[in-house]
Structure 1
C-alpha cells in the first residue's frame, strides 16, 4: 500500500510539472541581458535581494541595530525591493583579514567600506577585487551621489587607469589629525598657558609626576600607539604620501613638493624623537610594562587617573571634551595637535573613507541603489546613522535655532546604541550635530586648521608599488621590530638604536623604494607640464 502511494505521488508531480511547462513560459534573456546577469549589473526589481555591506568594527549584540535595520529594510524593500545586511570585521588583525575576505570573491559581499590610506583600496583594485563603476551605471543607479561628487569634481581621485573604482566620502567635513587631549586646569597649575609643543607636553607630564598621586599614570598608554609621525609633523614640514606604507615613512616637504624624502631614514628629527621618548620613559610618563599593558587610557582619563588621551580632533570635540565637562567641570580639556609648532596640517584625501563594490557581487546595480538611498535619502540616512527617533535620538533646537540631536531619557549606550560604522558616505547636507558636542571648540580649531592647511596635492596619483612590494614588506617588518621600542623609550642608547634601525631599512631597500617613488613623481610633474 505504501509503495502504491509513492507511485501515485510521483505521477501527480510529473503531471503538475508538465502542466507548468505548458502553462508558463520561462523568460528568455537576450545576449546583453545574460551578460549583465553574469556581471551583476542586470537589475530586475521584481526579485527581492539581500545586499551585504562589509565594514570595520565589532558586531553589536544588544539587538538595537537589528531593530533599526528592520525599519530601514521595509523602506528599502518599498523603494528598490532590497534589504541590507551588515557584515562586521573585528579590529583585531583587521587589515590582513580584510584583504583575505575580498580576495575570496565568493559573491557573498556587495558594498565594501574602504580607504586609500589605511585600508588598501588601491591594492584591492589592482588585484581585481573591486568592480569598475562606469559613469553610466553611477548615473542610473546612484544618481544623487553621482551628481554631488561630479559637482565637486572628485571622481578623478577615485580612478585607477582612467576607470572609477571608488565612491568618495567627499561631502563630510571632518578633522581626524591626531594629537594629545590634556586638562587645561592642570596645565595652568603647571605654569603653562596651554600645551602647544612637545616641550610644553614634557613640562606638563613632569608636573603631574611631581604630584605623586597614587594610581595615577600621566599617559596610561598600551604601547601600541605610534606617535612618531606626530613628532615628525611638529618638527618638520613633512607631508606623508597617501597609500604607500602603513607607517608613513615616505613623503615630501611642503617647501619642496618635487623631492621624495623620509625623515625616518635621514636627518636628526627621528633621533631627537627617540631621545625624548627615552626621557619620558625614565620620567615615568607611562607604566613600566607599557608594551604589555592592557589598560584603557580613555577610561583612565575619564576617571581622573591619567593626564592625557591621544586620539584625533573629532574625538576631542564630539566626545571627550563634553564628557570631561560633565565629570570634571572646569577641566577645560584642550587639544595639542600634531604639527602645531610648524602649523603643519594637511587636508585628507577624499578617499580616506570610500565605498566600493565587490567585483564578485551578483547584485551590483541594486547595491548602488541601496547605497544611494542610505547616503542621500533623509529618512534612510537618519535611521542608518542615528537610529530610531525616540529610542536612539530626539531632535531638539539649539541656541542657534538649528536642529540638534540628544539622547532620550534613560538611554543606555550598551543597551540602546546602534553600530553601523558608516564612514564611507556621510553627508553634511543631512548631518545633525550632537547637542552635547563642543562645537565652539570645533569652530575655533577649524579656523586655525583652515588658515594653515595644505590641500593634499597628490590625490590623483595611485602610487605603483608593485615592483617594490618585497622591499615594502621587509621595511614594514623592520618598523614593527623597532618602532615600539623607540616610541616607548625601551632602549639604552636611542641614537645608536635609530642608527641600527636605519641600517636595516637600507639593507632591505628603502633607497630603492624612494627612487621608485621619485621616478613616478617626476613623471607626474612632467605630464602636468605638457
Structure 2
C-alpha cells in the first residue's frame, strides 16, 4: 500500500507540532485500543474543502514527494517512462513530483521497520495493519495524524470514506492512515495447485483438506520426475497459519509475534477470548504432519537454506503448488494458462476445510504520511490525484495505454507483440486502489465471480478493525518471544527439528520462560477493554 505527503516545508514543523499537541480529539483511554466513536457521524467531521477553496492553496513552491513502496524496483525502464507521464500531470496540477522509494523483498520486514524508525523525512508510506506492523509503528510515532489535513488536501477521499471506516484508522483517536476500503479483493490464503495433475492422480474433487493435499504431493513425488512437490524456500512459513485456519475456528489477531502469529481469538463467537493454538494439539498435529512431509521429500532437503522462488518454479513446471492468497491465484491462473497450457490451476483456500473465513480488514492496505514529512499537505494532494484522478490512476496501476495495455469493449488486454520482459510495468500501489477507477481485465479468470460468491456465503465480519494492541507493558517479553519464533519456528515448520513432539515441547518451554503467559494476560486485559468499548458503541 502507499501513502503520499505534500506540505509546505516552511510550515510543516509547526503543523506537525500543533497536531501532536491537539487534545480536543485525543482519546482519554490509557490503552492503545481504538475506541469506537460512539455516535461518530458526519457531524464530527471537519467540513471538506470545496473546489473553490482548493484553488486557493499555495502550490507556488515545487516539491518532490516520496512514496514508500514494497517490492523490487523494476529494471526494464518502463517505470521511468510511466513516472515521466505521471509527473508531468502532477507538476501541472499541484506543482509536485513523485519519487518511489522501494523497500525490496529481501529482508523487507526489517528494512521497512528500520526505515520508519530512522526518522527519515519520507512522505507517503504504504501501510497495512495486518502485515506491515502499522499499529506498532504508530505507537513509536512513525506517522503524522491526518484528521485536520484530509478535509483540505484530500477532500474527495475524506468525503468518500465513511465515518465507521475512518474509525478503523485511528490510534488514540487520531487518523493514522487512509484505508484502501473502496477496492474489492480477497487475500485469504491457500495453495495454488495444478488441476490437470490432480485429475491425473485420481483427485477429481477440489482439494479441501491437508490429507488430500498430502496425497497430491505424494503422487507428484512418485509420478513427476524432476518436480519438487512444494518447492518452498526458507521464508515460506505461512503454512502454520493455514493449518490453524483449516482445523480450528480461531481468528488471527493483530498482535505481532514475529515470523508468524501465536495469538488468536478463540472463534468468531468467542472473539474476545485470547487463545494460542500453539499450546494445544493443533500445533503438535501440524508439527507431526510437517515432519512426515519433510521425510517424504515434499520439499528440498536443504529447505532452511534455500532461497529460490516457488512461484517461478510452478510457472516453469518444476513445482506443483504455491502458497499465497486468492488475488494471486486469480492472476496466476491466467499466467499458467499461457506458460503451462492445460495446467488448469486450482485453489485450495485454507478456510474451505471448515468454512472459517472472516472478511478482509479494510486496513490490509493503506497510506500514511511520515511523522517527519516536510511536505504533508502536498503529499496528500498527490495522493488524492493518484486515487481519484482517472488519468493518474490508470498510469499508476496499468502503465501506458498502447504499451502495457489496450482497451477493447471497455476491458483491458495486452497489446499485440507485448513482451513481459521488455514491457512489464508495476508500481505496487497498494494503498488507495478504488473500484470506480478500475479497468476490468479482459483476460480475467472466468471463475472469479463464483469464488467471490462462495466466500460471501460464509464470511464473517472482521472483528478486530479497531483493536490496537499496546505492547508497552510487555515489550521485553514480546522481543524475546519474537526471537524464539524466528530461531525455532522454521525447523519445526519444515520437519527439521527432530522428534516433532519434543520440538514442540521445547518451543513451548522457551516461550513460557520468555514470559508468554504475561503477554497472554495483557492481551486478554486489552481485549476485555475493547469488548466493552465495542458494546458501548452499539
Instruction: Provide structure 1 residue ranges, at least 5 long, that are not aligned to the other structure.
Output: 1-31, 398-402
1:99 corresponds to: 113
Distance across 2 between alignment mates of 1:205 and 1:529: 47
1:206 corresponds to: 218
On the 8 A contact 1:116/1:243 being kept in 2, the answer is: no
**In the TM superposition, what is the alpha-carbon distance from 1:43 to its structure 2 partner?**
5.4
Written as runs of structure 1 = structure 2, the 5 A alignment for 1:1-400 is 38-39=14-15, 44-107=58-121, 109-134=122-147, 136-150=148-162, 153-192=164-203, 193-211=205-223, 213-226=224-237, 227-246=239-258, 247-254=260-267, 255-264=269-278, 266-318=279-331, 320-397=332-409
Q: Which has the higher contact order (CA 8 A, sep 6+)?
A: 2
CA gap 1:202/1:50 in 2 versus in 1, 3 angstroms: same
On the 8 A contact 1:232/1:263 being kept in 2, the answer is: yes
1:477 aligns with 2:483: yes
1:419 aligns with 2:431: no
> In the TM superposition, what whole-angstrom CA distance separates every residue of 1:394-422 from its partner, at most 9, and x where no partner exists?
1122xxxxx22112122223322223110
Following TM superposition, the consecutive aligned residue runs of length 4 or more in structure 1 with deviations greater than 6 angstroms are none
Structure 2 residue corresponding to 1:486, chosen from 492, 503, 511: 492
Secondary structure, counterpart of 1:434 in structure 2: coil
1:515 corresponds to: 521
On the 8 A contact 2:405/2:412 being kept in 1, the answer is: yes
Distance across 2 between alignment mates of 1:201 and 1:34: 60
1:448 corresponds to: 454
Distance across 1 between alignment mates of 2:498 and 2:77: 51
On the 8 A contact 1:50/1:84 being kept in 2, the answer is: yes
On the 8 A contact 1:175/1:313 being kept in 2, the answer is: yes
- Coordinate RMSD, CA, aligned: 2.0
Instruction: Provide structure 2 residue ranges, at least 5 long, that are not aligned to the other structure.
Output: 1-7, 20-55
Secondary structure, counterpart of 2:474 in structure 1: helix
TM-score (norm 1): 0.88
Distance across 1 between alignment mates of 2:467 and 2:312: 40
CA gap 1:34/1:373 in 2 versus in 1, 3 angstroms: closer
Secondary structure, counterpart of 2:186 in structure 1: coil
**Which piece of structure 1 moves more, 39-48 or 443-452?**
39-48
On the 8 A contact 2:257/2:485 being kept in 1, the answer is: no
**In the TM superposition, what is the alpha-carbon distance from 1:153 to its structure 2 partner?**
2.7
> In the TM superposition, what whole-angstrom CA distance separates every residue of 1:155-177 from its partner, at most 9, and x where no partner exists?
00011111111110101111111
Distance across 2 between alignment mates of 1:447 and 1:77: 43
**In the TM superposition, what is the alpha-carbon distance from 1:275 to its structure 2 partner?**
0.6
> In the TM superposition, what whole-angstrom CA distance separates every residue of 1:91-113 from its partner, at most 9, and x where no partner exists?
22222222222233343x11111
**In the TM superposition, what is the alpha-carbon distance from 1:391 to its structure 2 partner?**
1.2
**In the TM superposition, what is the alpha-carbon distance from 1:243 to its structure 2 partner?**
4.0
**In the TM superposition, what is the alpha-carbon distance from 1:221 to its structure 2 partner?**
1.4
The size of the alignment, in residue pairs, is: 487
Secondary structure, counterpart of 1:335 in structure 2: strand
CA gap 1:181/1:349 in 2 versus in 1, 3 angstroms: same
> In the TM superposition, what whole-angstrom CA distance separates every residue of 1:363-395 from its partner, at most 9, and x where no partner exists?
111110110000011001001111111111111
On the 8 A contact 1:188/1:194 being kept in 2, the answer is: no
**In the TM superposition, what is the alpha-carbon distance from 1:529 to its structure 2 partner?**
4.2
Distance across 1 between alignment mates of 2:323 and 2:12: 49
**In the TM superposition, what is the alpha-carbon distance from 1:207 to its structure 2 partner?**
1.6
On the 8 A contact 1:244/1:465 being kept in 2, the answer is: no
Max Rg structure = 1
**In the TM superposition, what is the alpha-carbon distance from 1:46 to its structure 2 partner?**
1.3
Secondary structure, counterpart of 2:531 in structure 1: helix
**In the TM superposition, what is the alpha-carbon distance from 1:123 to its structure 2 partner?**
2.0
**In the TM superposition, what is the alpha-carbon distance from 1:194 to its structure 2 partner?**
2.5
Secondary structure, counterpart of 1:468 in structure 2: helix
